Amino acid sequence: MVAIRRQPAIKLAGLRSRLKGLPYHVIPTLLERFSPYRGWFPGQVDRHLFGALMQPAGNSAGFEYLTAVEVENLAIINADWEPLEIPSQHYAIFSHTGHLSNLRTTTHSVFANSLPSRQLTPLRHTPNVPLILERYSASFDIRSGWGEIQLWVPLDEARSDLPSIRKFEPASGR
């Protein structure tokens, strides 16, 4: 685990896809489809990419996946793009080392081992909060699948070990 951090609200804009199963086999395709827009969004904060795995609205099966960038203001985003404003909250942040094709293994380890061993509970069933937020560094190479990837897991503060959160939380910043 890299850190536990309280993150201010994040405003994302991008392309939303509906998936029947977990997205790991289609993430490269979704990133590739979005890549021409990286760096060209009005009000884009930086060149990081985000992948937000969401529960679908209602009782629908499967997942929704938003491939996006962080923007300063959602009001200037036109109807071609899906907005998502994620409220301020605590995240457990994990680093994925290796190729994008191995992201599934890291994600499984986070949920099966890392979170339970630290008495941390992921936040679930909360509107506008992803199940997991992938953050791809500005230097991440979409074509090769290599580069820095962080997995941000929203934490259920009421059910997590708060002393553990306080111990890891940095003083400030992103």
Say if residue 7 is exposed, middle or buried (CB neighbours under 10 Å; 0-12, 13-18, 19+). Answer: middle
Kindly report the pTM of this predicted structure: 0.87
pLDDT, one tens digit per residue, over 79-127 is 889 999 999 999 999 999 899 999 999 999 999 999 999 999 999 888 8
**All domains of the chain, ordered by start, with CATH?**
3-148 (3.20.80.10)
Q: Which amino acid is at 1?
A: M
